[in-house]
Structure 1
């Protein structure tokens, strides 16, 4: 079930706010650095090292491992590795709390690291595949009772079982920089949140590689 979809198209933008295009979730709030710029298909969210967009916490955006959830988006990283971890997206357990879910780029590579916070602490999963600088790619991560799964460009890249339950990440969604860590330089588009674990066919469709 689709909970929220932000297209970042100009028609959804009002001042520093980006209205949700589908669903009943809150608007994304842009800081003074983030911008809406021309993208691959319409417009996209442009972020730099210290730029951020925040989607406030809401009941619709409480991710449940029991029912499963999926977060998917298109991304174009326009800078080479910087020697630092660069945040793409994270969601704390609660406001100003530990990271419930996080996704970063490696300091020296274009691989991704995914983190979930479980009853025993953080659990990490690293991608095998890589994003390509200056090219659009599609990223999706899926969580269900069995484990966590990372898809790149519509294909499953890596999967791991979860031995401990996930602590529900109920805080805001932050795109780009964290409080104390830099974000990535590039574009995000077509951000979707589902209150279910999408299957491989649906994810291929979102990535433009099969039926949607």
Structure 2
């Protein structure tokens, strides 16, 4: 079930606030470090991040309290415009609760345009490093799938890496942020068509999303 989508279409934008295109009532707020620019081939608009501390935030809501039991998927298009900086560059993170630990995170490595994903379990953080390297200045589609047995990362509709999870995932019920973590740099590039599902999508569905 699709619980939220931000296509950044003009009709969903009100100043620095962007409505959920599903009509679910969730609003994303952009801080001063984030701009809205033309997106992919006329498919809505995109968020532009400049590698600073700019981010876009969706406050905690019951619809976004994602459960490992039922599974969940976070999917989006991304276009990295600058190379490695020697620092971790955040793309997305979600907290356990307001002002709480990071429950879910996605970064680019300090020395390569390769992804790292983190989930917070009852035994602490679990990390998964992707194999694929994103091509600079080209759009890629990323999908993180979490289910009862583990988590998997897909790049451009294809499986990239998957690991089992021995301990339960702590429900990421807190705010969702795109771009930089508090006090840390984020990615330089664009992000578009952000979707969140309260289910673990299968490979066929993810492949279809990647080609939209």
Is the pair's TM-score, using the shorter chain for normalization, greater than 0.5?
yes
User: Are 2:55 and 1:52 aligned?
Assistant: yes
Of the three residues 64, 83, 88, the one matched with 2:86 is 83
User: Are 2:143 and 1:140 aligned?
Assistant: yes
The structure 1 segments of at least 4 consecutive aligned residues displaced by more than 4 Å after TM superposition are none
Does the CA contact (< 8 Å) of 1:91 and 1:174 recur in 2? yes
Aligned-partner Cα distance in 1 for 2:204–2:25: 25
Aligned-partner Cα distance in 1 for 2:146–2:66: 9
**Cross-structure match for 2:6:** 6
Unaligned runs of 5+ in 2: none
In the TM superposition, residue 9 of structure 1 has moved relative to its aligned partner by 1.8
Q: Mean Cα displacement is larger for which, 178-187 or 147-156?
A: 178-187
**Cross-structure match for 2:38:** 38
TM-score (norm 2): 0.96
Does the CA contact (< 8 Å) of 1:3 and 1:23 recur in 2? no
SS of the aligned residue for 1:204 comes to helix
In the TM superposition, residue 201 of structure 1 has moved relative to its aligned partner by 0.2
Q: Residues 18-47 of structure 1, C-alpha deviation per residue, up to 9 Å, x if partnerless?
A: 011114141100001211111213311111
User: Are 2:192 and 1:189 aligned?
Assistant: yes
Q: Flag the structure with higher strand content.
A: 2
**Cross-structure match for 1:155:** 158
Aligned pairs, number: 209
**Superposition RMSD on alpha carbons, in Å?**
1.0
Does the CA contact (< 8 Å) of 1:114 and 1:125 recur in 2? yes
In the TM superposition, residue 53 of structure 1 has moved relative to its aligned partner by 0.3
Q: Residues 124-176 of structure 1, C-alpha deviation per residue, up to 9 Å, x if partnerless?
A: 00001111111000000000001000000000100000000000111111000
TM-score (norm 1): 0.96
In the TM superposition, residue 180 of structure 1 has moved relative to its aligned partner by 2.2
Of the three residues 118, 130, 133, the one matched with 1:115 is 118
User: Are 2:77 and 1:74 aligned?
Assistant: yes
**Cross-structure match for 2:182:** 179
Q: 1:39 to 1:59 in 2, by over 3 A?
A: same
In the TM superposition, residue 8 of structure 1 has moved relative to its aligned partner by 1.0
